[in-house]
Structure 1
Amino acid sequence: MSHHTRRSLLAALGTTGVIGLAGCSSGRLGTEWPETVESTTDPLPGEDDGWPQFGRTAGHVGFAPEVRIDDPEPVWTVAFPGGLSSPVGAGDRLFVQTAPGPETDGAGTVVALDTDGGERWRRELPGGGGGWSGCPPILHRGSVYVGGVGGVYAIDARDGTPRWGRETDDSVNEAVLGREGRVFASTGETLLALDTAGGDGWRYVTGDDRFSTAVPAVGAGRVLYTTRILGSVVSIRPGTVGDPQTEWRYAPGGTGFGTPTVVDGTAYVPGDDLHALSAATGSVRWTVPVRAAAGVSTDGDRVYLSTEDGDLVALATTDGTERWRVSVAPGEDTYLRTRPLVTERSVVVTTEKPGRDDPVDTVAVDRRDGTERWRREQPGNIGYDAVALGTQIYVPVLWGFTLDRESGGTLVALDD
């Protein structure tokens, strides 16, 4: 989910939970959520082949080449009284974070679903006051890791048992990252590296006049972390112990950066322009004056992005040359703010109509030439990032900012 869309969601729900709510009561985690544990969990079946984290891979490529859907229809929907995050999953299981219900004092709930829509378990996160970070969970080595109001939490993916929780100075509002037995979580001012038992690895502090609203990425053996205001991209070795030293920093000035996408040694970093950098050295390969509304995805040959003008754009990874551009969200008060999902034949996005009672569309265009392949109306007016798993595409949508409808989220499963 993009930074913009998440803030729209929180406003639509009337929730708090974005900055400065951590540590408001000592001992908040209690005995149910210890800070560290001695044991780890085994990976779920199919975890390596699933969609286990934001953008699917540690480089967030957003590409599922094994998935092909030509004429989809909804095969099931699950409704939630509040909002929901984009899901992750593996094998026959999906995981989603949902907003606190009207009668709970928690800070969101992680729900495990079967891929037929049935519920396996749910686990309320610690916290109070109805705040909600809204960030997607991830699945890494048999545990679900999720950011929340004032911390990051580990849950056994098989049965929903709490494993550990780590309080942080501020809320974790973006998806965490799992890679080779480590978990990386950002509070906006600090990037934390923890092991899967909750133990400390290292922490990187952004410094004055910098703030991150992005998910870190891993590529070429480095963690890449971006900031806004005085925008920068920094590179840190994942296995660092103690005080991390940046290997390189890219700070051209005049822009803030979003979540990097890393593939084949190149990091594609959205800002006022799209920057293609060497993930190993930070050297510039090319820049293109196009602003991505919600990050980029890639199949290795092309980079795909949405624009605030409602266009879906494909650029060559070699030099940034525009291959095609199509208008997906024409019309007044209609926007395109989801990160593209790339499948075997299609690039899939969902539109957004804040302030209107009109439903949005999930649209698929041919990734070769941008011609429209299919379009399906959705039960909501704000769309989030879709994911693909097995033979299905999962689309989260929300009714919000409307006059005649109550807010609420729905996860829609599309299949041929």
Structure 2
Amino acid sequence: MPLHSRRRFLGITGTTGIVALAGCSINGTSLFDWSTTAAETTAPFPGESDGWPQYGRTARHTGFAPEVRIDDPSEDWTFGLAGSMAPPAVVGNRVVVHGGTEPESDDDDGGTGGAVFSLRADDGRKQWRRNLPHISSGYSGCPPIVYRGSVYVGHAGAGGVYAIDAREGTPRWRHETDNSVNEAAVGFRKQVFASTGDELLAFSERGHTNWTYRTGNDRSSFSPPAVGGGFVIYTTAILGSIVAIDPAANSGVPEWLYRDDRRFGTPTVANETVYVPGHDRLHAVDVATGDGLWTRDVTVSSSIATDGDRLFVTTPSGDLVAYATADGSEQWRATLAADDGVYLRTRPLVTERSVVVTTEKPQLDENVTTYAVDRQTGETRWSVDQPGNVGFDAVAADGRLYVPSYWSSRDEGGTLVALSD
């Protein structure tokens, strides 16, 4: 399960339980400041897909940035928040961050809880801030995405999906949901798809609901949707399933369904294949037909990243492991978190030469470490300590590596560190 899923309600002092209040004005930006739909769309940024605009970089969630190479990292800048933060999205000279915040001033009683920021990628300076409606000091930990000129992000305190103009930071629309939206949305073919855990919702860019897929009483989803083979791929747990839905059909009816496990995690698509971690197996499924291609007995602690030839995952024993995409055979294994109280649960990031992961020490008051491991051999290339005892998924774009981390044992909050050669 992704790390942000395990920390759904992260706030200024840690984990906070939240009850959603529908249709009312609450601390922070009022619900009445958000329309339910927008009259216009926003224009895509030039070269929008060249950065890291979506979770896992693309709608396929490969987590692969082959043009990024970092051999001797040094800190360019840092950005701190009073609470934790989710993995950012990067488009051009914009880094979009969703995190837990404090008031902007002594007179501001509406800044606590969750907020979305746009930062300059070259120096970390703030371009805009948009407070989200909230209750108490919690936020969902949902990674933001940038799609066709808008930021889309889920919310916990006032359950729903929020659309923000990525250039100006102004509210565009919100869709209220019964459950909090904790997983990243995905943008594809001028639609946005978001999961509440019980439903997969398809929106137009202006906020109109195109269709809804309901999981049913025997299933629930804890992972973001992905895209592959022209389908939206959605996974569930409890009664595990993988479904493929034609986004243009406007029906939400699956084209195929795959069941072979108790629980499925985040799907990753490459080589016309869907790779999905299960309860104690990796699954490779034909994206066109839903036929199983192979399984590999392994318990993983993260989502899957891939360079096309290898699948990269972390394990509960603290290993980073590479498996062949063709048949699931193990290629190499690197032990990075073998000590007591140290875990390896971030989703791997793949660059030109390296696979990057960050450790986690939730019971220890010690800095976590980001490791870069050679993606061909598994040998450690470099490591950097981070300001926190919980590491989150790193992202990469335009020659920089962005690593979010958080102090769960101190009042120092979260930090986004930008690294480059």
1:244 maps to 252
Query: How far apart, CA to CA, are the structure 2 residues paired with 1:369 and 1:16?
Result: 43
Q: Is 1:54 the counterpart of 2:62 in the alignment?
A: no
Answer whether contact 2:11 2:113 (CA < 8 A) is retained.
no
Residue range with higher mean Cα deviation, 223-232 or 37-46: 37-46
Query: How far apart, CA to CA, are the structure 2 residues paired with 1:31 and 1:415?
Result: 42
TM-score by length of 2: 0.93
Q: Is 1:122 the counterpart of 2:122 in the alignment?
A: no
Q: Which of 364, 367, 372 pairs up with 1:356?
A: 364
Deviation for aligned residue 1:75: 1.6
1:32 maps to 33
Query: What is the percentage of aligned positions where both structures have the same residue?
Result: 53
Q: Is 1:23 the counterpart of 2:22 in the alignment?
A: yes
Query: How far apart, CA to CA, are the structure 2 residues paired with 1:200 and 1:12?
Result: 35
Answer whether contact 2:266 2:303 (CA < 8 A) is retained.
yes
Letter in 2 for 1:14: T
Deviation for aligned residue 1:209: 1.9
Residues 326-364 of structure 1: per-residue CA shift (max 9 Å, x gap): 101121110001000000000000000011111010000
Partner-residue secondary structure (3-state), 1:129: coil
Q: Is 1:173 the counterpart of 2:173 in the alignment?
A: no
Aligned residues: 409
Query: How far apart, CA to CA, are the structure 2 residues paired with 1:396 and 1:388?
Result: 12
Shift of the 268–10 alpha-carbon distance from structure 1 to 2, 3 Å rule, reads farther
Q: Which of 132, 142, 150 pairs up with 1:143?
A: 150
CA-based RMSD: 1.8
Query: How far apart, CA to CA, are the structure 1 residues paired with 2:171 and 2:245?
Result: 30
Shift of the 407–8 alpha-carbon distance from structure 1 to 2, 3 Å rule, reads farther
Partner-residue secondary structure (3-state), 1:183: strand
Deviation for aligned residue 1:380: 0.4
Partner-residue secondary structure (3-state), 1:233: strand
Deviation for aligned residue 1:9: 4.8
Shift of the 86–55 alpha-carbon distance from structure 1 to 2, 3 Å rule, reads same
Deviation for aligned residue 1:105: 6.4
| Structure 1 segments unaligned to the other structure (5+ residues) | none
Shift of the 22–184 alpha-carbon distance from structure 1 to 2, 3 Å rule, reads farther
2:397 maps to 389
Which 4+ runs in 1 deviate beyond 3 A?
7-12, 24-31, 102-107
Q: Which of 362, 370, 377 pairs up with 2:378?
A: 370
TM-score by length of 1: 0.94
Deviation for aligned residue 1:44: 1.4
Deviation for aligned residue 1:32: 2.2
Letter in 1 for 2:295: T
Structure 2 counterparts to residues 184-223 of structure 1, below 5 A = 184-223=193-232
Query: How far apart, CA to CA, are the structure 1 residues paired with 2:296 and 2:178?
Result: 37
Q: Is 1:271 the counterpart of 2:278 in the alignment?
A: yes
Deviation for aligned residue 1:387: 0.2
Query: How far apart, CA to CA, are the structure 2 residues paired with 1:359 and 1:200?
Result: 44
Query: How far apart, CA to CA, are the structure 1 residues paired with 2:239 and 2:384?
Result: 40
2:86 maps to 85
Deviation for aligned residue 1:107: 4.5
Query: How far apart, CA to CA, are the structure 2 residues paired with 1:311 and 1:222?
Result: 32
| Structure 2 segments unaligned to the other structure (5+ residues) | 104-108
Residues 56-91 of structure 1: per-residue CA shift (max 9 Å, x gap): 000100000000000101121111111111100111
Query: How far apart, CA to CA, are the structure 2 residues paired with 1:248 and 1:22?
Result: 36
Letter in 2 for 1:367: R
